[in-house]
């Protein structure tokens, strides 16, 4: 049996299976008898012809290599050949169990496919051929070309012949996708404009239902979804797809996270057969609800760098398709090339704009000059240099305006340029300006040539160096004066070799060291290190300069020629060559012996009581702060005793202040004798004293000291022939944790003392929590402060700063905060700022004050008739000085309000300046870098260290009102004020006196050399509406 006969036999066998009829079988006797009827015979013959037709179809299908064939009877598949099973991935039995052939068609396109097939089969021949998409058993979509014929005789049967055209259709789709993306990118100006259309085109052409674009955020090093597109869907699936889209937009990925992050990391496309099985796919639950399975992600590359990732999702599990993956990768590259092209176009546009801007607005003269010397094009700067209008200059040549003495050299350079001997040249030359004056310039010329090589025009860049030439001349004259300055300088000046061998010293240097001349000193001092008599400090100086390049204000004691010791301040820097190698050292030395002595006297006055010599409040708080810090390392406590002398006022009133002062001095001596070495007794003012007890084990030990003090004070005082009996009321507070604040312990002891006074004289009380009603009041006040900030209950009053001369001109004003309390009326800062400081509210309040005051000051600057800018003084608190954003906040407020920085004077109290000196100096230098002025406030009051003005970059010293109060009547206060004014003069800074209340104080301050003052004598702090002097040149 040959192959054709075998195929025919096999087809007939399947036909008998499908129809239940065996063609050619004669049947039994009943069947033979039936054929005697002519009608039955004709029917049999027609059935036979029908079966023969079926055979012909089957044979034709079998002869077409690779074409699948199925027979459908009543929608069920009754026969499928091997090729059809291979195409779909199903076995014959699996196909036979399907309720309908159309189950192979995706649900969303099933109705359309059936209707299309029905239309084709509705004709006379009952046959047709269509293209449709079916699902492979694996879930992959296939494109089939289907031919069908409907046999209506007998039992209707549908004969379907299918050919797999997926490869051709996929190729068409890939080409169409690339064509559409190319068209979109050609028409779009930006990726933002093109990306939605790209996502749509890829999805519609390549069978994806959702597409997304992720962009790389280089600064944050994150990948963010910036665009999504999905095919139209309905019902619950629509909600699920929208949920996936929104979830993607909210997702932020790092490199390597999720599918886009993986592509970002690798720079290569990635195909995911089913995202549900990818452990790295974080959006799997959302994808599952949306029925999304297969996915692909491709990078958008620009010069090897991943700028973004495009991802696409389908409803079916999709087997990797290398051709499609290559197409998708090509689209990613194409998108990157689009970005590169657009960047290049934008760069070219900006380059052209820059060239036009460079030429027209260049800070130097630029010109195009013809080979014969005619000006072809000139910019405005060149016209300004030469003094000609543009039209005038274009009618001349460069030879017309070149100084005759420089023309030959200029032409010689041009000839070399034209001959190709050089590409460019520079020279200094002179032009003759239109007005006949000479302009020195630095001329740089290059030659532009035609494509043929012929000269086209010269490009001349002309820099006006007339000023530099004048400066060089001035420098030559200055060099002649340098020696005179060196010889006559007040400060010592020296130069030394890399080995610190002295090379030169000036006469002042020799005088400081006690030598008659620089020569004598150079003979005696072979090594510059001997300038510093203390070996350890000398080594430290040399090491610091080597490591850091310079040192400033280096304080050291030195030994003079006569053996006497003096104190000096040195500034030294290393001299380096272009490669950074040290060539030598130079520096200055200042004799600070007298200034340091003055500072130490003032320092002692600032931290000690002038009457008793005891520490004052500032020093007491500092020691208390240190004692609390030490409790961190020891298992003990710190106690504070706050006491005053009962009936002291009566002593003053009856026996006079002199006796009262002697009593205070005597009481101070007894108090010091009542405590241990290492404990501190301080006088706060009046008859108030405090005692700091360290290393106490409990309240009982503090009570014993209080008893001892009471016993010491109980003995009569013999003063001026009078015997005085004195008692004291004592309040005691004991630290409970190392975190206790010094101010809190002082406050608690003070409160306890007042409770002791309420009990009666000569008593003591230990602070108890029940005494904290005042603390609760502060808590309430903190809440009111927050609301006040929100409700804008704060206002600013202004007090003028007046020149203390005959004119009394207003030089500035101080901004002072006020609170319009809804229940308590107008409140001054002392009633609420301590609470604001404690709670941190001082920071937003302080920024509000600074910004409002700067706004107002800038408007006053514009309104004043003479246009002179007033100086605005604004206080900074301790917390504000410690705030890390202080400098940025000040800069931002100045920029926002438009106030020139040099109009702003920031006043800083001694408390605010306490702490890390290095960090504080850095902070102040940053503020100075903004251009603002700085003032050390409250000098002479509590908390201001007198060493601060010397080592900090300040512009003013402000004398506290407590010193000005006694300026006329108290010699000690007058001495303190005079010392401050002298110190300001020595430092080269200004000085301001606050709290001036009468003309006598003004006269005394004038005599001392104080230039600025403020106080009620001139004006109290007033609202803006009551301050006409703010807009006038003279004071109130």
Q: Distance between CA 1008 and CA 1000 in Å, rounded?
A: 13
Q: Per-residue pLDDT tens for 329-369?
A: 888 888 888 887 877 777 777 766 766 666 777 788 899 99
pLDDT for res 185: 83
Dist. CA 1011–CA 959, nearest whole Å: 12
Instruction: For residue 842, give the nearest of 890, 876, 889, 800 by alpha carbon.
Output: 876
Q: Give the distance between the most distant pair of CA atoms in the chain.
A: 172
Query: Do 459 and 362 meet the contact criterion of CB atoms below 8 Å apart?
Result: no
pLDDT of residue 852: 94
Catalogue all structural domains in the chain, each as residue range(s) with its CATH number.
3-165 (3.30.450.20), 169-346 (3.30.450.40), 362-470 (3.30.450.20), 490-591 (3.30.450.20), 613-771 (3.30.70.270), 778-1031 (3.20.20.450)
d(CA 518, CA 520): 5
Coil, strand or helix: which one is 309?
strand
Picking from 678, 698, 686, 766, the residue whose alpha carbon sits closest to that of residue 730 is 766
Beta bridge partners of 637: 696
Q: What is the pLDDT of residue 1016?
A: 93
CA distance 123 to 136: 30
| Whole-number Å distance between alpha carbons of 42 and 93 | 36
Residue with tokens 């040099």: 902
**Long-range CB contacts for residues 389-392, cutoff 8 Å, separation at least 24:** 392/434
**pLDDT for the residue 16:** 37
Q: 719: which 2 tokens?
A: 């003063």
| CA distance between the termini of the chain | 133
- Does residue 402 contact residue 410 with C-beta atoms inside 8 Å? yes
**Structure tokens of 716?**
């009569």
Question: Could you say which residues of the chain have pLDDT below 50?
Answer: 1-36, 59-64, 124-126, 916, 943, 1033-1035
pLDDT for the residue numbered 210 = 94
SS (H, E, C) 811-876: EEEEEEEEEEECCCEEECHHHCHHHHHHHCCHHHHHHHHHHHHHHHHHHHHHHCCCCCCCEEEEEE
Rounded Cα gap, residues 3 and 9, in angstroms: 10
Task: Look up residue 610 and give its DSSP letter.
Answer: T
Burial group, residue 583, by CB count within 10 angstroms (0-12, 13-18, 19+): exposed
pTM of the predicted model as reported, rounded to 2 decimal places:
0.35
Strand, coil or helix: 69:
strand
Name the DSSP class of 627: H
Q: Specify the residue for token string 């301040």.
A: 569
In this structure, what DSSP letter does residue 647 have? T
Q: What angle do CA 873, 878, 882 make, to 5 degrees?
A: 105
848, 902, 844, 911: which is closest to 871 by C-alpha? 902
User: Residue 343 and residue 804: Cα distance in Å, rounded?
Assistant: 65
Sorted by sequence, the CB contacts under 8 Å of residue 516 that are 6+ apart come out as 510
E runs forming strands in 841-968: 871-876, 904-908, 933-939, 956-959
- Quote the tokens at residue 374: 């005619």
Q: What pLDDT was estimated at residue 325?
A: 85
Return phi, psi of residue 444, to 5°. -120, 125
Q: Smallest Cα–Cα separation from 611: which of 678, 682, 671, 691?
A: 682
User: Which residues sit opposite 585 in a β-bridge?
Assistant: 496, 574
Q: In angstroms, rounded to a whole number, what is the distance separating the alpha carbons of residues 680 and 693? A: 7
């Amino acid at each position: 049996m040959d192959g054709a006969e075998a195929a025919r036999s096999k087809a007939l066998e399947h036909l008998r299976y499908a129809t239940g009829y065996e063609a050619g079988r004669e049947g039994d006797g009943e069947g033979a008898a039936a054929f005697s009827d002519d009608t039955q015979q004709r029917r049999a013959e027609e059935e036979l012809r029908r079966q023969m037709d079926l055979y012909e179809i089957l044979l034709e299908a079998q002869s077409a290599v690779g074409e699948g064939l199925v027979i459908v009877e009543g929608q069920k598949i009754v026969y499928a050949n091997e090729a059809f099973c291979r195409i779909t991935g199903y076995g014959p039995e699996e196909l036979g169990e399907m309720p309908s052939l159309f189950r192979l068609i995706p649900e969303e396109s099933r109705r359309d496919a059936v209707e299309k097939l029905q239309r084709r089969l509705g004709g006379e021949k009952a046959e047709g051929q269509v293209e449709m998409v079916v699902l492979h058993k694996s879930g992959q979509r296939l494109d089939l070309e289907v031919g069908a014929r409907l046999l209506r005789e007998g039992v209707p049967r549908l004969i379907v012949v299918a050919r797999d055209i997926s490869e051709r259709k996929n190729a068409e789709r890939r080409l169409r996708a690339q064509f559409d993306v190319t068209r979109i990118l050609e028409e779009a100006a930006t990726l933002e404009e093109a990306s939605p259309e790209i996502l749509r085109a890829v999805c519609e052409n390549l069978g994806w239902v959702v597409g997304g674009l992720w962009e790389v955020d280089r600064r944050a090093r994150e990948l963010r979804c910036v665009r999504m597109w999905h095919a139209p869907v309905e019902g619950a699936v629509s909600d699920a797809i929208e949920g996936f889209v929104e979830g993607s937009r909210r997702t932020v990925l790092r490199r390597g996270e999720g599918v886009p992050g993986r592509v970002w990391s690798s720079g290569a496309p990635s195909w995911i057969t089913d995202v549900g099985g990818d452990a790295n796919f974080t959006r799997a639950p959302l994808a599952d609800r949306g029925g999304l399975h297969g996915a692909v992600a491709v990078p958008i590359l620009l010069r090897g760098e991943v700028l973004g990732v495009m991802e696409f999702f389908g409803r079916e599990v999709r087997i990797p398709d290398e051709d499609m993956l290559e197409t998708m990768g090509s689209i990613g590259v194409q998108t990157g090339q689009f970005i590169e092209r657009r960047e290049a176009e934008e760069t070219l546009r900006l380059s052209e704009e820059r060239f036009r801007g460079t030429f027209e607005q260049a800070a130097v003269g630029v010109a195009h000059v013809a080979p014969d010397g005619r000006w072809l094009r000139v910019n405005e700067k060149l016209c300004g240099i030469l003094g000609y209008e543009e039209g005038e200059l274009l009618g001349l040549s460069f030879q017309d305006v070149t100084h005759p003495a420089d023309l030959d050299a200029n032409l010689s350079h041009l000839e070399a340029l034209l001959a190709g001997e050089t590409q460019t040249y520079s020279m200094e030359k002179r032009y003759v300006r239109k007005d006949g004056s000479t302009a020195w310039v630095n001329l740089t010329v290059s030659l532009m040539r035609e494509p043929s090589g012929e000269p086209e025009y010269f490009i001349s860049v002309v820099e006006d160096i007339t000023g530099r030439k004048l400066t060089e001349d001035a420098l030559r004259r200055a060099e002649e004066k340098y020696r005179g300055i060196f010889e006559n300088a007040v400060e010592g000046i020296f130069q030394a070799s890399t080995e610190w061998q002295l090379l030169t010293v000036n006469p002042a240097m020799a005088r400081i060291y006690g030598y008659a001349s620089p020569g004598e000193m150079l003979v005696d001092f072979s090594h510059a290190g001997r300038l510093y008599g203390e070996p350890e400090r000398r080594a430290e100086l040399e090491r610091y300069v080597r490591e850091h390049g310079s040192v400033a204000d280096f304080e050291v004691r030195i030994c003079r020629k006569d053996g006497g010791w003096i104190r000096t301040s040195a500034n030294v820097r290393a001299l380096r060559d272009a490669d950074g190698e040290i060539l030598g050292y130079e520096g200055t030395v200042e004799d600070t012996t007298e200034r340091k002595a003055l500072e130490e006297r003032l320092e002692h006055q600032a931290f000690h009581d002038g009457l008793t010599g005891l520490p004052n409040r500032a020093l007491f708080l500092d020691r208390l702060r240190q004692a609390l810090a030490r409790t961190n390392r020891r298992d003990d406590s710190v106690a504070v005793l706050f006491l005053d002398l009962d009936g002291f006022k009566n002593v003053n009133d009856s026996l006079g202040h002199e006796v009262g002062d002697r009593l205070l001095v005597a009481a101070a001596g007894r108090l010091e004798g009542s405590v241990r070495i290492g404990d501190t007794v301080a006088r706060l003012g009046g008859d108030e004293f405090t005692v700091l007890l360290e290393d106490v084990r409990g309240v009982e030990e503090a009570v014993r000291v209080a008893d001892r003090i009471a016993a010491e004070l109980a003995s009569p005082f013999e003063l001026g022939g009078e015997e005085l009996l004195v008692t004291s009321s004592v309040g005691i507070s004991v630290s409970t944790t190392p975190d206790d604040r010094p101010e809190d312990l002082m406050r608690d002891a003070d409160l306890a003392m007042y409770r002791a006074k309420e009990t009666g004289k000569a008593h003591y009380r230990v602070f108890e929590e029940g005494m904290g009603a005042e603390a609760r009041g502060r808590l309430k006040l903190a809440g009111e402060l927050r609301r006040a900030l929100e409700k804008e209950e704060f206002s600013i009053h202004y007090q003028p700063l007046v020149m203390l001369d005959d004119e009394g001109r207003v030089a500035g004003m101080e901004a002072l905060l006020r609170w319009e309390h809804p229940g308590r009326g107008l409140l001054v800062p002392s009633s609420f700022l301590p609470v604001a400081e404690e709670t941190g509210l001082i920071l937003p309040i302080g920024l509000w004050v600074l910004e409002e005051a700067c706004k107002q000051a800038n408007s006053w600057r514009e309104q004043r008739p003479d246009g002179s800018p007033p100086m605005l003084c604004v206080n900074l608190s301790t917390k504000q000085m410690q705030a890390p954003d202080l400098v940025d906040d000040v800069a931002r407020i100045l920029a926002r309000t438009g106030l020139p920085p040099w109009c702003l004077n920031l006043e800083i109290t001694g408390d605010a300046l306490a702490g890390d000196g290095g960090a504080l100096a850095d902070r102040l230098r940053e503020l100075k870098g903004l251009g603002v002025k700085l003032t050390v406030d409250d000098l002479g009051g509590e908390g201001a260290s007198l060493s601060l003005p010397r080592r900090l970059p300040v512009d003013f010293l402000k004398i506290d009102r407590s010193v000005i109060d006694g300026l006329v009547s108290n010699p000690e206060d007058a001495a303190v004020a005079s010392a401050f004014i002298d110190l300001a003069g020595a430092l080269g800074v200004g000085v301001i006196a606050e709290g001036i209340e009468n003309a006598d104080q003004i006269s005394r301050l004038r005599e001392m050399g104080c230039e600025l003052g403020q106080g009620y004598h001139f004006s109290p702090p007033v609202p803006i509406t009551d301050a006409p002097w703010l807009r006038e040149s003279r004071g109130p």
